[in-house]
């Protein structure tokens, strides 16, 4: 099947009649606990386009939440998946081995920051990668406390849900939560209550204070940060914060974990978001873009930390599934060969000035931020920092109705994020931005 025509085409209302019918059927079959951003049913997708069952072509500013950086049907990923599926779909890496898993591990050891000796473990989901990073850090340090940030998102399993900051919808009703998780303020410039010119230092001081006075640095196994916070609102830490935290962790024998599941593998314009400041984490978690749409995640870290867990201590039936590994080899090849980090920088160059032009004293767009192809607008009541989730919803609804698939995020639900496939065409991106501008104009 060829890549769909790279053009926004609306042939029905969004959602169209076929999608509406399928969505009704879904309600009778599928658990209600799963939300949906836009109830259209997909027939095919690729490049910067998602085609629904009614034949509408929507511009994809979601990438399945930062997964399909190479597009949702990249020919090389598709071919690799097909070829591997014909050979074998599964053996379980803990039962018998296959070469592609070692190849993916070797590639991640090379691509992640730092030239120290590394090891990688492969899993299936992002949450599993974060859980295993914690298991490894605890095993290595013999300590139990884990420090995370406000506005953090790390997953939906018991441990990672506990590490996630936002109550509704992620945690409500699911307690009791896992023990030994401590939270420190995120350096969120737009919402910082202290000195706006000193956010990095003040946030770092608060981290040190919480760790020293409430936990004891010698009890902390890991500090886990998203180098650009994802679900929490695309919060970019001000320069200096991450290097300070990394240095503090090093000084106290704490494992510094960068959760690059959303921000990694080219998304922010560098291979990893920590690369913007030359920070070298002890452990990096990856998933999402890693396998071009197939479920695969990884924990990559210093050899001495990773190998602290004895054989048998890590694993999972599907951990490092061979079809997913074949897809990852192809996706990583495309990301490197086609220099997708450069594409992300180009997306920033094209999109950010246009989004920034939407801000202003009487504008509902209070802040525009992000790096590379991980960009966001935060909506507030004009002239204040009071969150305006209704404005974000209105803009998203307008964009969706006009054939642009957008996602909201943020602790207050008032952020619209742009996560296009890194391979999106420039005309398509420009068209999507026209629609977003028109959407914001409806708020005035
Ligand atoms: N860490 C930084 O962004 C997943 C969540 C979607 P999984 N983000 C999308 C939802 O509402 O469930 C994510 C992330 C960061 C960890 C994860 C978890 O990855 O593959 O969803 O488990």
**Domain range annotation of the chain:** 17-60+339-441, 77-337
- Quickly state the pLDDT bin for 1 (edges 50, 70, 90): low
What is the average per-residue pLDDT within 214-224?
A: 98
Averaged pLDDT, 232-241: 98
Q: Return d(Cα 172, Cα 266) in angstroms, integer.
A: 33
| Centroid of ligand 1 to alpha carbon of 358 (angstroms) | 29
User: Helix, strand or coil for residue 409?
Assistant: strand
CB-neighbour burial class of residue 190 (10 A; exposed 0-12, middle 13-18, buried 19+): middle
CA of 66 to the centre of ligand 1 (A): 10
pLDDT at 2: 76
Q: Please answer whether residues 329 and 74 qualify as being in contact, where contact means their C-beta atoms are separated by less than 8 angstroms.
A: no
Q: Tokens in use for 195?
A: 């000195």
Q: Which atom, in ligand 1's list, is nearest to the CA of 287?
A: 20
Atom of ligand 1 nearest to the CA of 125: 20
63/50 Cα distance (integer angstroms): 9
Q: What is the mean pLDDT of residues 192-208?
A: 98
Q: Is 315 helix (H, G, I), strand (E, B) or coil?
A: coil
CA of 131 to the centre of ligand 1 (A): 12
Q: Whose CA is nearest to atom 7 of ligand 1?
A: 126
CA 137/CA 149 separation, integer angstroms: 17
Distance 405 CA to ligand 1 centre (A): 19
What 3-state DSSP class applies to 50? strand
Pairing of strands 181-184, 145-149: parallel
**Nearest residue to 439 (alpha-carbon basis) of 389, 401, 385, 407:** 401
Nearest CA to ligand 1 atom 16: 154
Task: Take residue 356 and report the two structure tokens written for it.
Answer: 């920034």
Could you name the CATH architecture of 77-337?
A: 3-Layer(aba) Sandwich (3.40)
Distance from the alpha carbon of residue 126 to the mean position of ligand 1, in angstroms: 6
Ligand 1 atom 19: residue of nearest CA: 126
Q: Which atom of ligand 1 is nearest to the CA of 288?
A: 20
What is the Å distance from ligand 1's center to 167 Cα?
15
* Cα→Cα distances 232→82, 181, 256, 365, Å: 36, 18, 20, 17
* 361 Cα: distance to centroid of ligand 1 (angstroms): 34
CA nearest to 22, candidates 45, 43, 46: 43
- 24 has pLDDT over 70: yes
Protein residue whose Cα sits closest to atom 3 of ligand 1: 262
Which class is domain 17-60+339-441?
alpha beta
Beta bridge partners of 78: none
**Percent of the chain clearing pLDDT 90 (strictly above):** 99
Per the prediction, the chain carries an average pLDDT of: 98
Residues touching ligand 1 (Cβ under 6 Å) are: 65, 125-127, 130, 153-156, 226, 230-231, 259, 261-262, 287
pLDDT > 70? residue 57: yes
**pLDDT over threshold 80, residue 253:** yes
Q: Report the nearest-CA residue for atom 20 of ligand 1.
A: 126
pLDDT grade for 129, boundaries at 50, 70 and 90:
very high
**Which ligand 1 atom lies nearest to the CA of residue 65?**
9
Best mutation site among 122, 127, 319 for ligand 1, i.e. most ligand atoms within 8 A of its Cβ?
A: 127
pTM of the model: 0.98
68 Cα to the center of ligand 1, angstroms: 14
What's 177's DSSP letter? Answer: P
What's the confidence (pLDDT) of residue 16?
Answer: 98
pLDDT tens readout for residues 376-407: 999 999 999 999 999 999 999 999 999 999 99
Give the Cα separation of 188 and 139 in Å (integer): 32
- The residue whose CA is least distant from atom 9 of ligand 1 is 65
């Amino acid at each position: 099947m060829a890549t769909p025509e790279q053009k926004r085409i609306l042939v029905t209302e969004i959602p169209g009649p076929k999608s509406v019918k399928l969505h009704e059927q879904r309600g009778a079959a599928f658990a209600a606990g799963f939300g949906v951003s836009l109830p259209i049913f997909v027939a095919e997708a690729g490049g910067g386009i998602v085609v629904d069952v009614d034949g509408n072509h929507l511009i994809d500013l979601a990438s399945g939440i930062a997964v399909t950086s190479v597009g949702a049907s990249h020919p090389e990923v598709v071919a690799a998946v097909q070829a591997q599926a014909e050979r074998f779909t599964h053996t379980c890496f803990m039962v018998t081995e296959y070469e592609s898993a070692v190849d993916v591990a070797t590639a991640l050891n090379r691509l992640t920051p730092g030239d120290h000796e590394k090891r990688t473990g492969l899993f299936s989901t992002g949450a599993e990668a974060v859980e295993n990073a914690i298991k490894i850090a605890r095993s290595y340090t013999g300590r139990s406390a884990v420090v995370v940030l406000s506005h953090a998102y790390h997953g939906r399993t018991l441990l990672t849900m506990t590490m996630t900051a936002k109550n509704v919808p992620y945690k409500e009703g699911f307690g009791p939560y896992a023990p030994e998780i401590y939270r420190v303020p995120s350096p969120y410039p737009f919402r910082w209550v202290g000195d706006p010119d000193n956010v990095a230092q003040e946030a770092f001081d608060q981290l040190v204070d919480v760790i020293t006075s409430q936990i004891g640095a010698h009890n902390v196994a890991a500090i886990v940060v998203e180098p650009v916070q994802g679900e929490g609102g695309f919060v970019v830490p001000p320069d200096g914060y991450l290097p300070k935290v990394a240095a503090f962790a090093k000084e106290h024998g704490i494992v510094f974990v960068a959760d690059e599941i959303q921000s990694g593998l080219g998304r922010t314009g560098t291979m990893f978001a920590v690369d913007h400041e030359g920070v070298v984490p002890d452990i990096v978690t990856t998933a999402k873009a890693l396998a071009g749409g197939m479920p695969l995640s990884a924990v990559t870290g210093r050899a001495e930390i990773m190998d602290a867990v004895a054989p048998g201590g890590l694993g999972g039936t599907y951990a490092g599934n061979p079809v997913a590994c074949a897809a990852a080899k192809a996706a990583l090849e495309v990301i490197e060969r086609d220099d997708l980090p450069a594409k992300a920088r180009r997306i920033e160059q094209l999109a950010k000035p246009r989004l920034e032009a939407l801000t202003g004293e009487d504008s509902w767009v209070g802040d525009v931020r992000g790096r590379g192809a991980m960009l966001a607008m935060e909506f507030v009541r004009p002239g204040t920092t009071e969150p305006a989730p209704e404005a974000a919803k209105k803009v998203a609804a307008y964009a969706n109705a006009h054939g642009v698939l957008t996602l909201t995020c943020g602790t207050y639900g008032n952020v619209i994020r742009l996560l296009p496939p890194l391979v999106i065409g420039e005309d398509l991106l420009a068209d999507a931005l026209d629609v977003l501008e028109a959407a914001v104009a409806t708020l005035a």
